[in-house]
Structure 1
Amino acid sequence: MNIALVTGSAGLIGSESVAFFAEKFDLVIGIDNNLRSYFFGAEASTDWNRKGLEEKFSNYRHYKADIRSEEEIGKIFAEYGADIKLVVHTAAQPSHDWAAREPFTDFTVNANGTLVMLESTRKYCPEAVFIFTSTNKVYGDTPNYLPLVELETRWEIDQNHAYFEHGIDELMSIDHSKHSIFGASKVAADVMVQEYGRYFGMKTAVFRGGCLTGPNHSGAQLHGFLAYLMKCAITGNHYTIFGYKGKQVRDNIHSWDLVNMFWHFYQNPRPGEVYNAGGGRFSNCSMQEGITVCEEITGNKMNFSYADDNRSGDHIWYISDLSKFKAHYPDWTWKYDLKTTLTQMYDNISKRV
């Protein structure tokens, strides 16, 4: 039997992975204890998504286990053993604002939880491909020291800089910068995933995401930029822009496009690899530009205000360079651009609010 195991399976990337791999594996095991509702409140609960997966996919089996528990996770891995061919680890505490409230919780979920997953994979199914969703926050605030130029609706990098054409590549240093507590815990996990590939020879890959997005995102104020923006555009709820004149730039990759990257890697894996994963020059926007697109799609004028204080360590401009991944897997490319993604969000969120 071929089994795919997905952590954070009711979240954005986890649920997309379940749907994607349910058609390609005999069984998909999901692990998710809905900690997202603890992090961000009832409005961010992923229970609705879990129920949908269980109803739609007969070969999906859900476990409400805590990735920090060696005992709970070990039992699941022991039950299925070497039949597990793929592990997609997306479970995390994802907000750099929230992490500062409870650093121990943040670190144990992001770093210790990842170690538990790696060790369980090494012990019970060492030949499995292990995929980890990291973050561009591992680069800290280093991108903010690039030569940036202020334009009418966004910040942009100087057109003569090497990063102008494609964005930031994987060679940017992760040292000597302010990461946020969240970024630091993800660095620990990121490096450990690399090490299990390089030291133990396991087929591990780190995907350093920009803004991961899609119609199944349970967006909240502290996490889920586009999803929460669209939610506010639909409901009329107030939205606050924090700093940088609302011109800070994010690249946005649709959850399907990211999981399709996982699939390409699974078919031809490499040990200890690191890839930037985002919308690149194909799909990005500033806060101001995102608001404009949301207003166009909904037909509503957004209720927002501006706060001068930017979030500590927040990126002013970040666009991912995916050239390395595309060189390794030339058949992959993006499918969903920014407007298509936001339109899907509008259709989905409108049914839930």
Structure 2
Amino acid sequence: MNIALVTGSAGLIGSESVAFFSEKFDLVIGVDNNLRQYFFGADGSTDWNRDRLKDSYTNYRHYKADIRKVEELEPIFKEYGTDIKLIVHAAAQPSHDWAAREPFTDFTVNANGTLNMLEMNRQHCPEAVFIFTSTNKVYGDNPNYLPLVETETRWEIDESHPYFANGIDEHMSIDHTKHSLFGASKVAADILVQEYGRYFGMKTAVFRGGCLTGPNHSGAQLHGFLSYLMKCAITGNHYTIFGYKGKQVRDNIHSHDLVNMFWHFYQNPRPGEVYNAGGGRHANCSMLEARILCEEISGNKMNFSYSDTNRIGDHIWYVSDLSKFKSHYPDWNWEYDLRQTLVQMHDSMVKRLQVQI
């Protein structure tokens, strides 16, 4: 039997992985205890998505296990053993704001939880491919020291800089910079995943995501800005834009496109690799530009305000360079642009919220 195991399976990337791999594996095992509701309250709950997965995929099996507890993970790995061919580790505490509230929780979920998963992989299914969803926050504030130019709607990198054409590559330093505690815990996990590939020869890969988005995101104020922005556009709830005049730029990748990157890697793994993974020059926007798009798509004027205080660890301009991944896997490409993604998010959210537009 061929099995894919997905942590954070009711979250955005986890649920997309379940849907994608349910057609390619005999069984998909999901591990998710809905800590996201603890992090972000009712807005962040993924129970609805867990139930959707159970109803939609007959070869999906859900476990409400805590990745911080080996005693809850080990029985799962012992039961399925070497039948596990792929592990997608997408469970995380994802907010740099929230991490400062409970550093122990943040670190044990992001760093210790990743170590637990790697050890379960090594002890019970060492030939399985291990894919880790890291973050561009591992680069800390280093992107903010690039030569940036303010335009009418966004910050942009100077045209003379090597990063202008394609964005930031994997050689940017992750050292000597402020990360936020979230960024630091993800750095620890990121390096662990690389080390298990390089030291033990395991088939591990790190994908440093830009803004990951899609229709199944449980967006909340502290995480999932496009999803939460669209939710506020639909409901009329107030949205606060923090710092940088709302001109900070993010690249955005649809969850399907990211999981398709995982699939390409799985078919030809390169142990210990690191890839930047985002919308690149194909799909990026400033907060201001995203708000305007959400208003156009929803047909509603947003209820929003600016705060002069930026979030600690926030990037002013970040666009991922995917050249390395595309050189290794030339058959991969994006399938969704920004507008397509936002329209899909809008339609899904209207249905989910039962809002009449």
Instruction: Give me the TM-score of the superposition, normalised by structure 2.
Output: 0.99
Q: Secondary structure at the match of 1:33?
A: coil
Please state how far the C-alpha of 1:58 moved relative to its aligned partner.
0.5
- The CA distance in 1 between the partners of 2:178 and 2:19, in whole Å, is 36
Paired residue for 1:129?
129
Confirm whether residue 70 of structure 1 aligns to residue 70 of structure 2: yes
Question: Which residue of the partner structure matches residue 323 of structure 1?
Answer: 323
Deviations 1:179-207 (A, max 9, x none): 00000000000000000000000000000
Distance in 2, matches of 1:10 and 1:266, equals: 21
Within-5 A mapping of 1:47-126? 47-126=47-126
Post-superposition offset of 1:213: 0.1
Instruction: Describe how 1:3-14 pairs up with structure 2 within 5 A.
Output: 3-14=3-14
Counterpart CA distance in 2 for 1:95 and 1:167 is: 23
CA shift for structure 1 position 135 = 0.1
State how far apart, in whole Å, the 1-side matches of 2:284 and 2:347 are: 21
- The SS at the match of 1:289 is helix
CA displacement at 1:351 relative to structure 2: 1.4
C-alpha distance in 2 between matches for 1:196 and 1:108 = 18
Match of 1:149 in 2: 149
Equivalent position of 1:176 in the other structure: 176
- Can you list the C-alpha shifts for 1:8-44, whole angstroms capped at 9, x where unaligned? 0000000000000000000000000000000000121
Matches within 5 A, 1:1-353: 1-353=1-353
CA distance in 2, matches of 1:160, 1:151: 16
Deviation at 1:255, TM superposition (A): 0.1
Return the alpha-carbon distance in structure 2 between the equivalents of residues 289 and 63 of structure 1: 40
1:92-137 residue CA offsets vs partner (Å, 9 max, x unmatched)? 0000000000000000000000000000000000000000000000
Between the aligned partners of 2:243 and 2:135, the Cα distance in structure 1 is 21
- Structure 1, residues 68-112: CA drift from partner, whole Å, max 9, x if none? 111110110000000000000000000000000000000000000
Q: Offset of 1:352 from its aligned partner?
A: 2.0
| Cα distance in 1 for residues equivalent to 2:44 and 2:173 | 33
Amino acid at match of 2:291: I
Q: Aligned to 2:281, what secondary structure does the other structure show? A: coil
Task: Tell me, in whole angstroms, the C-alpha distance in 2 between the residues paired with 1:201 and 1:74.
Answer: 22
| Secondary structure of 2:81 counterpart | helix
Identity in percent: 82
**Number of residue pairs matched?**
353
Q: CA deviation at 1:312?
A: 1.1
User: Partners in 2 of 1:70 and 1:241 — Cα distance?
Assistant: 39
Q: CA RMSD in A?
A: 0.4
| One-letter amino acid of the structure 2 residue matched with residue 328 of structure 1 | H
CA distance in 1, matches of 2:192, 2:43: 33
Instruction: Identify unmatched segments of 5+ residues in structure 1.
Output: none
Structure 1 distance, partners of 2:167, 2:141, is 15
